[in-house]
Amino acid sequence: MKICIACGMPMEDASDYAMGDTGKDYCKFCARPDGSMQSYDEKLEGMTDFIVRTQGLDKQAARAAAKAMMAKLPAWS
């Protein structure tokens, strides 16, 4: 099992990978519609929104949490 280099999501099945391509190092949630990986700013915005929705943090706290998580991932280090 691989871990997404951009968000840390476990990728177990082909459906978890960007465009279903198990050769990619990032997941379907970190891919643009054309299959390329999102930029840092795009991913930061998406993770911030996800944290607001799932953990109920305000946007500023969620953004700080997303930045801290992303700093530990290979794509952004």
Domain range list for the chain: 2-76
Query: What pLDDT sits at residue 43?
Result: 97
Query: What pLDDT sits at residue 12?
Result: 96
* Burial per residue of 42-70, b for 16 or more beta-carbon CB atoms within 10 angstroms, e otherwise: ebbebbbeebbeeeebeeeebbebbeeeb
Query: What pLDDT sits at residue 19?
Result: 96
Query: What pLDDT sits at residue 73?
Result: 96
On the question of pLDDT at 77 being above 90, the answer is: no
2-56 per-position pLDDT tens digit: 999 999 999 999 999 999 999 999 999 999 999 999 999 999 999 999 999 999 9
